[in-house]
Amino acid sequence: MSDAVLVLNGGSSSLKFAVFERREELPVLLRGNVSSLGHRPRLRVEAAAGRPKIDRSLDEAPIDMDKAFAVVASVLAENDLLRRIDRVGHRIVHGGRDFTEATRLDERTLKALRLLEPMAPIHQRINIEIVALATELLPKALQIGCFDTAFHSTRPELAKIYGLPRAMTEAGIVSYGFHGLSYSHIASKLRDRYGASAGGRTIVAHLGSGASLCAMDAGQSIATTMGFSTLDGLVMSTRCGALDPGIILHLLQDRRLSGDELVTLLYEQSGLLGVSGVSGDMRTLIGSDDRAAAQAVDLFVYRIGREIGSLTAAMGGLDTLVFTAGIGENAPLVRERIGAAAAWLGVGLDEERNRRGEEVVSNRNSSVDVLVIPADEERAVAAEMSILRSLGNQDGPGL
Compute φ and ψ for 54, nearest 5 degrees. -125, 135
Residue 298 catalytic?
no
- The average pLDDT across 39-66 equals 83
Note the pLDDT of residue 374.
96
- CA-nearest of 305, 358, 313 to 334 is 305
To the nearest 10°, the Cα dihedral for 349, 354, 355, 359?
A: 170
Express each pLDDT in 245-303 by its tens digit: 999 999 999 999 999 999 999 999 999 999 999 999 999 999 999 999 999 999 999 99
Note the pLDDT of residue 387.
67
Whether 179 contacts 226, CB under 8 Å: yes
Show the 3-state SS of 11-72. CCCCEEEEEEECCCCCCEEEEEEEECCCCCCEEEEECECCECCEEEECCCCCCCHHHHHHHH
**CA–CA distance, 275 with 273 (Å, rounded to integer):** 6
Note the pLDDT of residue 393.
39
Express each pLDDT in 343-374 by its tens digit: 999 999 999 999 999 999 999 999 999 999 99
Question: Given pLDDT bands bounded at 50, 70 and 90, which one contains residue 390?
Answer: very low
pTM of the entire structure?
A: 0.92
Q: Which of 179-183, 216-220, 223-227, 385-389 has the lowest mean pLDDT?
A: 385-389
**CA–CA distance, 63 with 247 (Å, rounded to integer):** 35
Note the pLDDT of residue 9.
94
Q: Which of 148, 319, 369, 376 is catalytic?
A: 148
Note the pLDDT of residue 389.
52
Residues 6 or more apart in contact with residue 48 via CB below 8 angstroms: 28, 29, 30, 31
Note the pLDDT of residue 396.
39
Asked whether the predicted pLDDT for residue 392 surpasses 70, the reply is: no
Q: How many CB atoms lie within 10 A of CB 67?
A: 15
Residues 6 or more apart in contact with residue 116 via CB below 8 angstroms: 94, 95, 96, 124
Express each pLDDT in 7-22 by its tens digit: 999 987 889 999 999 8
**CA–CA distance, 370 with 323 (Å, rounded to integer):** 8
Note the pLDDT of residue 357.
93
Asked whether the predicted pLDDT for residue 391 surpasses 60, the reply is: no
Whether 144 contacts 105, CB under 8 Å: yes
Express each pLDDT in 109-160 by its tens digit: 999 999 998 888 888 999 999 999 999 999 999 999 999 999 999 999 999 9
**CA–CA distance, 102 with 98 (Å, rounded to integer):** 11
Share above pLDDT 90 across residues of the chain, in percent, rounded to a whole number: 83
- The average pLDDT across 83-97 equals 94
Q: Which residues of 90-100 are buried (b: 16+ CB within 10 A; e: fewer)?
A: bbbbbbbeebb
Note the pLDDT of residue 62.
83
Asked whether the predicted pLDDT for residue 193 surpasses 50, the reply is: yes
Pairing of strands 369-372, 320-324: parallel
Whether 389 contacts 4, CB under 8 Å: no
Please report, as a single letter, which amino acid is at residue 143.
Q
